[in-house]
A = this chain, B = another copy of it.
Amino acid sequence: MQSKTIMIVGLGLIGGSIAKALAAFTPHRVLGMDLDPEVLDQAVACGAIERPGYVEDLAQTDILWLCLYPQAAVEFVRANGSALKDGCIVTDACGIKNAVCPQLKALSEELGFVFVGGHPMAGKERNGFEVSEATLFRGASYLLVPCGAPRWAAECMRELALQMGFGQVVETTPEHHDEMIAYTSQLPHALACAYVLSPRCLGHKGYSAGSYRDVSRVARINETLWTELFLENREALTRELSTLVENLQEIQTALQEQDGEKLKELLRRGREVKESLGE
């Protein structure tokens, strides 16, 4: 791949880590935009970006990488998309896809850029540029959501993701993405918050080990971002919450009825799913 000019919009945990990974592991030129001038200073100082980017740079940008909250990402393109050159790839890092891809796709057709959706499957329980890392994506899955983009553009993003250290690139649709993410990511975040709201949580120290730690870990949540993500995927997430509650209630009923055989069968089925996945 020829060296490209890549503009990162939003240098938080994800945008900062993308900038650092691009700077560390690829030959591309990286510029960055952020509302916070101190973050821009830090990003220049550590070499994550060559310099702050401006709207005037958009005409020379090959890839515009939106690392903002979902609706803010759409708004950025609505406000600035006309400054992009024809054929510029616009991609995103949003954790939901149905609520952004169709809008960005429509803007791409209107304004002449190429939209390829994306979702880097990595995170942390801390936010902001200061905790971003070049190696955040090492071995992680990069979800590529081409939404009808030309093949060259999808392949460009695939190659870039692999250059940055992702372990695999999985191509999917917005619909399938959101259905799977409701289960693999949103449900565990909802669960972690629900779990730590038990009155027993505040007294757990000394009485807990790995299973407490693992279930509660992501309760340290950015509630503004996740409220938007949950609301914009509410059908799929509601379905997963219902399924989980039903499964929990089956266990509860077996317990209350002291039905050991039933309880054992439910636990066995759980074990068998994990084993069938080789986990």
Which A residues form the contact surface with B (CB < 8 A)? Answer: 121-123, 140-141, 143, 168, 170, 172, 177, 179-185, 187-212, 214-221, 223-224, 226-228, 230-231, 234, 237-238, 240-245, 247-252, 255-256, 258, 260, 263-264, 266-271, 273-277, 279
Oligomer copy total: 2
Given A200-B184, A247-B194, A230-B189 contact (CB < 8 Å): no
A interface secondary structure, majority: helix
Establish whether residues A198 and B183, one from each chain, have CB atoms under 8 Å apart when the complex forms: yes
Taking A230-B263, A238-B255 as contacts, is the C-beta distance between A220 and B271 under 8 angstroms? yes
Query: A121: which of B140, B208, B230, B240 is its contact (CB, 8 Å)?
Result: B208
Cβ-neighbour of A227 out of B180, B223, B244, B267 (below 8 A): B267
A201 to B266 Cα, complex, angstroms: 15
30 A-B pairs whose Cβ atoms sit less than 8 Å apart in the complex: A123-B210, A140-B209, A141-B208, A170-B207, A177-B207, A180-B203, A181-B207, A184-B204, A189-B211, A194-B247, A198-B240, A198-B243, A201-B273, A202-B277, A205-B277, A214-B217, A216-B279, A219-B273, A219-B274, A220-B274, A223-B264, A223-B271, A224-B264, A226-B267, A227-B260, A228-B260, A230-B263, A238-B256, A241-B249, A241-B251
